[in-house]
Structure 1
Amino acid sequence: MIRIDFTDTGARIKPLHGIGQPPTRGNDCGMFHYLTEAGIPFSRLHDVGGYFGGGRFVDIPNLFPDPDADPADPASYRFGFTDLLVTELMKSGTEPFFRLGVTIENEWAVYAARIWPPRDSLAWAKICEGVIRHYTEGWADGFHYPIRYWEIWNEPDNVPDPMENPMWRGSAEQFFELYATASTYLKEKFPHLKIGGYGSCGFYGVTGGNVPTYAATSPRFDYFRTFFDDFLAYVKAHNCPLDFFSWHSYDSVPSTGMFAAYARHRLDAEGFTETETTCDEWNCNPTLRGTRMHAALCTAMFAELQHAPVDSAMFYDGRCGVSMFSSLFNPLTEAPFPAYYAFLAFNVLYRFGQEVAVYTEQMGEAGQADAALRVLAARGEKDGAARGAVLICNPTGTSLPLELNANGRLTSCSVLTEEGLVEIPLPAELESGAVLLAEYAL
């Protein structure tokens, strides 16, 4: 039996249903209504627009094409395409999580174009200052958007050998120096904004290195952790700002929870107790893209991270493309895949806001990684009345009995299908790969 106590409140439901790149089609943002409907809180602007950011979007070389130009001169910048993207995101209600850096270059063996360390770290920081001022202070015919998070680079730790690294053709020490210079300069200019980084590849070594082959990261897992430790030591020694630390996971649901705990433990141990953590790239078994089971795994990840020491999360990714990582939309029909509806269902709880206690026979108090059914519940207000919701998924390979007991009046029960959430009577069992959303009047 699953028992929900809507009177026993806990933590706030966290913004865990962010995404990476949004579903643009060139300059067409016509699919952004899906972001609004699912209440997507963040879109991380990294790898936007394809190779080299499509030559147009987000990447510093696209925004500032001549590295010898004057960062104080608005004429040095090319904001147009990114202006369109950012403005449409803000209209959709989704906050950009702005990566300052470049797109990954997986074809580095042919030509490594933009992944070299900037020639002058301070000059690079001043270019970033111009970008931030444009989007938050109206500089250069810009905007006054409340964009809070500014992330310095992405995965500089991708491969130990700089000549084989698709994100950073420099040493670890060169990246630490860039981060120190840029974060210190930008925090002085924008003390009210959150400056951090660095999009760590993750902590697969924590679980013994049993990472799936689709994770697309270096097999030298120890380097990821060594890089992290050395980064923390450098930042601490040089008194650099670190408002948030970002990291990635393409591992299982329970392993990702372990990575969150590891990141938090190491930050706290080095004195960064106020630093937020965000898993700003995750996807669990994207080989299941387009299936209900993938939606169930995404739902399970929401439950896992709600109870893990992480402040936010962003799914990789929200593109409407052919890659298996583009797991929310069908590129042939532009219709949502089942996983999208998991995000939409989680948003019901996120809007309600207040987590409530869940107890089950399988796992005691909710949130433990070995649970057969993953359950999350919340309460809040809807149309001025007290309401509650329960989100349940079955990420196992077999149907499981379902008995739901809650101190409220059931008003609707929906199950996730390939076409969306379909209302049904409360079932006596939950099929393999099923996701169920039950709403209550309190």
Structure 2
Amino acid sequence: MFQKIGRKYQETALIKLIAVGLVLGILLAVTMPQAVPAVSILGDLFVKALKGVAPILVFVLVMNAMAQKNADASASMKPIVKLYIFATFFASLVAVAYSFAFPTTLHLAVPPDAKVVPPSGITEVLHNLILSVVDNPIHALASANYIGILAWAVVCGIALHAAGDQTKAVLNDLAKMVTKVVQWVIRFAPFGIFGLVANAIGTAGLSALIGYAQLLAVLLGTFFTVALIMNPIIVYSQIHRNPYPLVWTTLKESGLYAFFTRSSAANIPVNLGLCERLHLDKDTYSISIPLGATINMSGAAITIAVLSLAAATTLGITVDLPTALLLCIVATVGACGASGVAGGSLLLIPVACASFGIGNDIAMQVVGVGFIIGVLQDSCETALNSSTDVLFTATAEFAAKAKEGTLKAEDLVPDQK
């Protein structure tokens, strides 16, 4: 009997299980509030597991991404990589603008002895950042100093770039191992969400859901603004043609699949097929599409920036414009190391929260909130991430054709399947 239940649980889509956990948590808090303390331990265990796996996840994934980077890529890859990074950074700027325009307050359990010391300005932020960067790597991992973890991961990855293929293969296997562990932890998200939601509503009432709804609205508004306004502007600046045929094509034929798979890595075959039907250079897109699944993470940068600023707003931390700009840089770098599994970007939120002096305990509660709204947030994030892999690969090639005067309107439309 238990084997059948376990098998059914494994076969059921995670998004459905999270939705069930969300509904059950609300019902329990409303109908049986006396039972909330007993089930809240599920949320505590889930957050604790995330706190345990997140530091090593960030370190291994970012180090592997830097080590595997192909320094001898052809010149045609350079404009694509520039578009990836440029778009990710500007997506985080849009996210900051939305967060400033619609500040969101969340229900977080802040321990009485928690020391949340907001930085006085950009000078203090940079001072703390520099000190965190040079922290002992072992201490950084043990104390969840994500700025130090990120810095050491980049340095070690660059150092390992000259390593042999066998060493890189071992490092890649290590990254896959950590990703698998994260998948196991996230598979228990429905139970964690059940406990977190029940505890939040049992403590603050149904008003706790208002913060979640506003947070989700800010995220979705940013996703759609980037996909339908910012990205078309970027494409137009490169090809000087109406960008929407290409934008709609990538959203419909790549983004739609990614919305349901919720994994940029799983959507790579779909993107490769779309590039082939757009008659792009195979030598280029065979590299740029897998690379984009790793470093082209506009949606992840949006999630990191919005949730980190929501945490700062909740704790009464005032964020000035220079600090917000630094957050955009941190979100861009962090997004490049986002895991290829569903919800992977959420585990990088503590990296950005550390810039505001927000501790790991509170940051991981924000991660838990991210999983609560992840039913829509992660699907839309992945759709944006994956569809722009094709969009900017095509844009770079079409821009070269536009300069030569050989770009035609029909080039922007793929062959039929």
TM-score (norm 1): 0.24
TM-score (norm 2): 0.25
| RCO comparison, higher one (Cα < 8 Å, 6+) | 2
Larger proportion of helix = 2
